[in-house]
């Protein structure tokens, strides 16, 4: 019985540093957090670009076929 108790205590002492580590420092959690931040940054950049191109298109609308059409004749 003493051997079993001593073995359990020894295992607990050896395993204690593993349980003392933070869960946030897990490499998979760090990678997941970084991927999420990169995805948010990419989404924000996409939205800014989309808004900027929409504003530019509204300001500079032109008729690409304007010089291909015949002049209007109001003689009818």
Residue 21 has pLDDT above 80, yes or no: no
Structure tokens at 21: 């580590």
Total domains, the chain: 1
Could you give the CA distance from residue 40 to residue 44 in angstroms, rounded to a whole number?
A: 6
Q: Which domain holds residue 46?
A: 22-59
Tell me if 13 sits within 8 A of 5, measured CB to CB. Answer: no
The whole-number pLDDT of residue 48 equals: 94
**Residue 47 lies inside a defined structural domain of this protein:** yes
**Residue 66 lies inside a defined structural domain of this protein:** no
pLDDT per position as a tens digit, 38-63? 999 999 999 999 998 887 766 566 67
CA angle 38, 44, 47 (to 5 degrees): 140
The pTM assigned to this predicted structure is 0.44
**Residue 35 lies inside a defined structural domain of this protein:** yes
The whole-number pLDDT of residue 19 equals: 66
């Amino acid at each position: 019985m003493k051997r079993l108790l001593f073995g359990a205590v020894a295992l607990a002492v050896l395993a204690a540093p593993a349980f003392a580590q933070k869960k946030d420092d897990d490499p998979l959690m760090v990678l997941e957090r970084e991927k999420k931040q990169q995805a948010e940054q990419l989404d924000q950049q996409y939205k800014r670009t989309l808004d900027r191109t929409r504003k530019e298109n509204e300001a500079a609308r032109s008729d690409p076929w304007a010089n291909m059409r015949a002049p209007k004749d109001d003689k009818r």
